Amino acid sequence: MEVGNSKLIDITELGDERGLLTVIEGNISVPFEINRVFYIYKTLPGIRRGFHAHYKTRQALISVSGSCKVYLDNTRRKTDVLLDSPTKVLILEPNDWHEMYDFSPDCVLLVLASHLYDAEDYIRDYDKFLEVYGR
C-alpha cells in the first residue's frame, strides 16, 4: 500500500509448533542494503518524535512489539499509518517528513536504515523540507 512516497508491506511469518519467526534480508525483503539498526522503546506517554526528513537515508520501520503510529507528509499528502504487527513493514523514503506517536507502553519500534548515522542527512526544519521537496 502506498503511503506518501513510502510503502507499507507485509512480510511472511514463519511459524511452527515452537512459535513464530520473521526474517528481513537487505536488498530482498527491504529494497536497500541495511547498514544501521536502531530501536525505540520505553517511549513515555504522549511523546511524539521524529519531525524530520532525509536527503538519502531509506528506512524500514517495524513495531516488533506493541504498536505506534507514523505520520507522513510528502508535501502534497499527509497520511497516518498504524504499525501494530511484527509483519508490517513501513518502507520509509527519504522525502517523507515523518513523526512517530501513540506508542503503546510495550512498543519496540525497530528501524533498519540504509546509511550510517549522519546528522547532515537530516532535514529538521519544515520550511527547508518544503524548499527541498515541495513542487
Could you give the residue numbers annotated as active site? 52
Q: How far is the CB of 19 from ligand TYD (least distance, A)?
A: 30
List the x/- string, 43-62, binding to ligand TYD by CB under 6 A. Answer: ------xx-x----------
Using the rule CB under 6 A, which residue among 80, 105, 106, 117 binds ligand TYD?
117
Tell the smallest beta-carbon distance from residue 49 to ligand TYD (Å).
Answer: 3
36 forms part of the interface with ligand TYD (CB under 6 A): yes
* Cell numbers given for 109: 519500534
Please give the helix or strand (H or E) that residue 7 lies within, else none: strand 6-10
SS3 of residue 128 by DSSP:
helix
Residue 39 interacting with ligand TYD (CB under 6 A): no
Q: Does 38 bind ligand TYD (CB under 6 A)?
A: yes
In terms of CB distance, is 9 or 101 closer to ligand TYD? 101
The CA dihedral of 82, 84, 90, 95, to the nearest 10 degrees, is: 40
Q: Cell numbers of 7, please?
A: 510503502
Q: SS3 letters for 45-91? A: CCCCEEEEEECCCCEEEEEEECCEEEEEECCCCEEEEEECCCCEEEE
* Closest distance of CB 54 from ligand TYD, Å: 10
Residue length of the chain = 135
Q: Which positions lie near ligand TYD, rule CB under 6 A?
A: 36, 38, 49-50, 52, 117
